[in-house]
Amino acid sequence: MREKIVAGNWKMHKTLEESQALITEIRGIIRDELRGQTRVIVCPPFIALTAASRLLEGTDIGLGAQNCHFEDQGAYTGEISAPMVKSTGARYVIIGHSERRQFFGDTNEITARKAKNAIRHGLKVIFCVGETLQQREDKTYFKVVEAQLRDGLFDLDRKEFSQVVIAYEPVWAIGTGLTASPEQAQEMHAYIRKVVATHYTDEIAADTSILYGGSVKPDNAATLFGQEDIDGGLIGGAALKARDFVDIVKGMR
């Protein structure tokens, strides 16, 4: 059966020292308060991955990067490859976040290459999809998300696809305080599961974790996570506060 997951995407926040402090705090609260059914993952900036990996040794908390390049190495100044991410001890990587798509030119084709290469190197991919406000208003959102899935993921064979977690993040809900209603989110999650079932199998779709992201907070987490096809969350702003992040994880039961 599919895993319940809450992942924190720290984006471009926290220096090395601040990251270490936040990881230590999250680790402490989780140890004291959670008996885990839910997989918890933190995705700090690249510069903190190695230190985070050491701090998380012996815990069940997973570690992920927020991006990686599609080549293993080469003349790509400023980029980080999947083997480099792997060498820090991280086991996950977020691919296709809307901020990467919007500000750094990550097209569906690029996200496909990134996802494929990350999986080849043994990373699990948290693959983000989601429509803009314009696309929601135009009512093209199902088509947009379907294309992101098809062009970004569906070249993967079944074994590769088993390493994918999907995150639905409507762009209009990210960092805006506007959350998709539980019904809007559930509708899209069910649709995503159907698209996966059509391309792969019903069984594979049933085993795929689909996370919701976009202004998830401690006070709305439980209702969102209570929806049938919502298997957890990808948390931005609220993942930067240990107390809020763990309270969101608690919304998962």
State the Cα–Cα distance between residues 72 and 82, nearest whole angstrom: 6
Is 183 designated active site? no
Tell me: does residue 40 bind ligand 13P (CB under 6 A): no
State the Cα–Cα distance between residues 37 and 32, nearest whole angstrom: 15
Interface mask toward ligand 13P for 95-134; x: CB under 6 A: --x-------------------------------------
Q: Which is nearer to ligand 13P, 200 or 238 (CB)?
A: 238
Is 169 designated active site? yes
Furthest C-alpha separation in the chain = 48
Q: How far is CA 157 from the centre of its chain?
A: 20
Residue of this chain nearest to ligand 13P (CB atom): 236
Tell me: does residue 234 bind ligand 13P (CB under 6 A): yes
State the Cα–Cα distance between residues 249 and 131, nearest whole angstrom: 25
Interface mask toward ligand 13P for 200-229; x: CB under 6 A: -------------xxxx-------------
Q: Which is nearer to ligand 13P, 112 or 234 (CB)?
A: 234
Tell me: does residue 64 bind ligand 13P (CB under 6 A): no
Angle at CA of residue 70, ends 189 and 211, nearest 5°:
15
Q: Which amino acid is at 2?
A: R
Member of 175, 198, 219, 226 binding ligand 13P (CB under 6 A) = 175
**224: nearest Cα among 251, 197, 191:** 251
Tell me: does residue 170 bind ligand 13P (CB under 6 A): no
State the Cα–Cα distance between residues 120 and 104, nearest whole angstrom: 23
Would you tell me which residues interact with ligand 13P (CB under 6 A)? 9, 97, 169, 174-175, 213-216, 234-238
Active site positions, annotated: 97, 169
